[in-house]
Amino acid sequence: MSDDLKQLDSTYIMPTYKRQDLILEKGSGCYVFDSNGKKYLDFFGGLATCSVGHANPAVTKAITDQAKKLISVSNLYYTEPPVRLAKKLSELSGLKKVFFSHSGADANEAAIKLAKRVTGKKEFIAFSGAFHGRTTGSLALTWSQQYKEPFLPLAPATKFATYNDIVSLESLINDDTAAVIVEPIQGEAGVVVPDENFLRQVRKICTKHHILMIVDEVQTGIGRTGTFFAYSRSNIKPDIVTLAKGLANGVPIGACLSDYELELGEHGSTLGGNSLSCAAANATVDYIEKNNLVKNAETIGDYLMDSLRSLQKTTPLIEDVRGQGLMIGIVLEKPEAARIVKSSMSGGLLCNAAAPNVVRLLPPLIATKEQADECLDILGKALQS
């Protein structure tokens, strides 16, 4: 069946992804199982989407119960799950209004429209290394030319400042700048962590020039970095925040939060904020809070990074270890991340090459010390092979 499935994939699915040679069939907690029954410790977590573990009982029950009632009836009628979720996110963020979409790119599209509407301006500033999505609007805010080149020209007009460089940012601001969009930690660039005061400086610059600050928390949000929102470490309040990935434990959803709002007819999403995805998100957020998983992300993340730094002393291939909470980048002295990922997979660990020289870990927030040790054992062998 495995060869048949791969052939069917090749025949019928557009080849937009480079898949690992692995067919996954089921999961439980921090583990997944392939078509041969082999068990893997999933410390990639569905690219940060698996917040509370595979087949989480609370989320599964919420999805099942909701599916028995309503899945989606469009946004032309009131339903309870999105209202409950919007209230939760508003209270957690301090931002008053929410627009629901079905991905991070869509959430950033809403942020682009909102910033244009509020300011009446058209230009944006993003940062070197930034990744904000692959729709044409969010792609315009994304740094990598390999993603953008085939689809030029793109809108909105975007300039790129150097990440973690306030002088570079301020030099690009002009009378038509609507907003600055920034990731608290750059995930796709290789888990790049800025200086501690960087976001505070961005906030100060945006306030000074009367432009909006958009914080893209698609990967860093929902407890991933040891705080529910990564920006809260800087004691700032953004004008717009975008979320997705871990919000519903893998069920597609995105959210754009702000004190500002789009008006009737200015934006929409047929499936955005549907009852099923919002029920899953409500259960995910409730589970994170009930089980203090934000604190666990910080505790286990610190343990992993401290252990990796100890390993660095005896492993010449490791140049640096960086990250916050359970968003960790292992920087290598050579571009061997793909080899390490493949070797780790053979040993029963799933991780990811975020850059040619960066191995990325994004475990579920439920990860334990014992599972961290299991990861370290497999990774240590791969790094020294």
- The two three-digit tokens of residue 271, written as one number: 């499936």
* Between 5 and 1, residue with greater pLDDT: 5
**Backbone torsions φ then ψ of 158, nearest 5 degrees:** -135, 135
Among 238, 269, 290, identify where a domain stops: 290
Based on the domain organization, do 248 and 148 belong to the same domain?
yes
Per-residue pLDDT tens over the stretch 220-274: 999 999 999 999 999 999 999 999 999 999 999 999 999 999 999 999 999 999 9
Based on the domain organization, do 94 and 146 belong to the same domain?
yes
Based on the domain organization, do 156 and 193 belong to the same domain?
yes
DSSP three-state, residue 352:
strand
Based on the domain organization, do 203 and 220 belong to the same domain?
yes
- The closest of 336, 328, 293, 335 to 309, measured between CA atoms, is 328
Question: Domain containing 365 — which CATH number?
Answer: 3.90.1150.10
Based on the domain organization, do 159 and 127 belong to the same domain?
yes
The span from the CA of 274 to the CA of 252, in Å, is 10
Per-residue pLDDT tens over the stretch 353-384: 999 999 999 999 999 999 999 999 999 999 98
- The two three-digit tokens of residue 251, written as one number: 């069920």
DSSP three-state, residue 356:
coil
- The closest of 124, 130, 120, 128 to 161, measured between CA atoms, is 128
- The two three-digit tokens of residue 40, written as one number: 């893997």
**Backbone torsions φ then ψ of 355, nearest 5 degrees:** -155, 165
Q: What is the pLDDT of residue 2?
A: 74
Structural domain tally of the chain? 2
Based on the domain organization, do 374 and 284 belong to the same domain?
no
Among 239, 262, 290, identify where a domain stops: 290
DSSP string computed for 83-152: HHHHHHHHHHH---EEEEESSHHHHHHHHHHHHHHHH---EEEEETT----SSHHHHHT---HHHHGGG-
Q: Residues 316-331: what's their mean pLDDT?
A: 98
Based on the domain organization, do 235 and 375 belong to the same domain?
no
Question: Domain containing 99 — which CATH number?
Answer: 3.40.640.10
Strands 254-258 and 318-324: unpaired
- Residue 39: how many CA atoms within 13 Å on its side-chain side? 8
Based on the domain organization, do 311 and 208 belong to the same domain?
no
Q: What is the pLDDT of residue 188?
A: 96
- The closest of 273, 222, 277 to 246, measured between CA atoms, is 222
- The closest of 41, 45, 44, 26 to 374, measured between CA atoms, is 41
Cβ neighbour number for residue 61 with a 10 Å cutoff? 12
Among 290, 315, 339, identify where a domain stops: 290
Q: What is the pLDDT of residue 78?
A: 96
pTM for this predicted structure: 0.96
pLDDT at 24 over 60: yes
Q: What is the pLDDT of residue 385?
A: 79
Helices (H), the chain: 2-12, 45-48, 57-67, 80-93, 104-119, 136-140, 145-148, 166-172, 198-208, 275-290, 293-312, 337-347, 369-384
Task: Give me the chain's average pLDDT, please.
Answer: 97
Cβ neighbour number for residue 282 with a 10 Å cutoff? 22
- The closest of 153, 84, 158 to 127, measured between CA atoms, is 158
Q: Residues 4-9: what's their mean pLDDT?
A: 91
Distances (CA, A) of 292 to 223, 227, 289: 10, 11, 5
**What one-letter code names the amino acid at 172?**
L
Based on the domain organization, do 105 and 194 belong to the same domain?
yes
- The two three-digit tokens of residue 247, written as one number: 């919000």
- Compute the chain's Rg from CA coordinates: 21
Per-residue pLDDT tens over the stretch 48-88: 999 999 999 999 999 999 999 999 999 999 999 999 999 99
Based on the domain organization, do 343 and 251 belong to the same domain?
no
Based on the domain organization, do 323 and 222 belong to the same domain?
no
Q: Residues 298-323: what's their mean pLDDT?
A: 97
Structural domain range at position 121: 59-290
| 49-59 b/e (C-beta count within 10 Å ≥ 16 → b) | bbbbbbebebb
Per-residue pLDDT tens over the stretch 162-212: 999 999 999 999 999 999 999 999 999 999 999 999 999 999 999 999 999
Based on the domain organization, do 71 and 208 belong to the same domain?
yes
Strands 158-161 and 123-127: parallel
Indicate the Cα dihedral angle 239, 242, 248, 250, nearest 10°.
Answer: -170
Q: Residues 148-153: what's their mean pLDDT?
A: 92
Q: What is the pLDDT of residue 284?
A: 98
Q: What is the pLDDT of residue 99?
A: 98
Cβ(243)–Cβ(278) below 8 Å: no
Per-residue pLDDT tens over the stretch 82-138: 999 999 999 999 999 999 999 999 999 999 999 999 999 999 999 999 999 999 999
Residue written as token pair 């085939």: 150
Task: Name the band, by pLDDT with cuts 50, 70 and 90, for residue 1.
Answer: low
DSSP three-state, residue 361:
strand
